[in-house]
Amino acid sequence: MTPDPLSIVDAYLVAQLARDYETMRGLLADTGFCYRSPIARFDRADDFIQYATLSSGIILDREIRKVFVDGEDVCHFMTYRIQISEKHAVEAAQWARVHEGRIQRIEAVFDASLYRELFPSDEPAP
């Protein structure tokens, strides 16, 4: 029996905080995967996991404030505690779609101004 979408996304979030990239990858769809945020876009789960291994070091902790589930869609409202040059709290919403027992799509929404200040780019934001 396939776990429900909330259990799958919660397992992904636990693995993310534990920096367990193998478990994270196992919860993502092999084909048709899509990730979107204000600072990154990926259409392959392996590319996204490679990015996560490089970028998740700034995450110190996370508080899940509210969760909504609608069929295959799971939305978490969270506060991430991150360390860039100093400690910050970042409010974020993550909408994930689970299909056939794997996360097919993740869309994260947050204020990315801290990242853009640290990593200026000539390219327009996604």
Tell me the pLDDT tens digit for each residue of 30-41.
999 999 999 899
24: phi > 0 → left, psi -120 to 50 → alpha, else beta; which? alpha
The CATH class given to the 5-118 domain equals alpha beta
DSSP annotation of 3 reads P
From first CA to last CA, the distance across the chain in angstroms is: 38
pTM: 0.86
DSSP annotation of 31 reads S
The residue type at 89? A
Tell me the pLDDT tens digit for each residue of 69-109.
999 999 999 999 888 767 778 889 999 999 999 999 999 99
CA–CA–CA angle 90, 48, 67 (5° rounding): 45
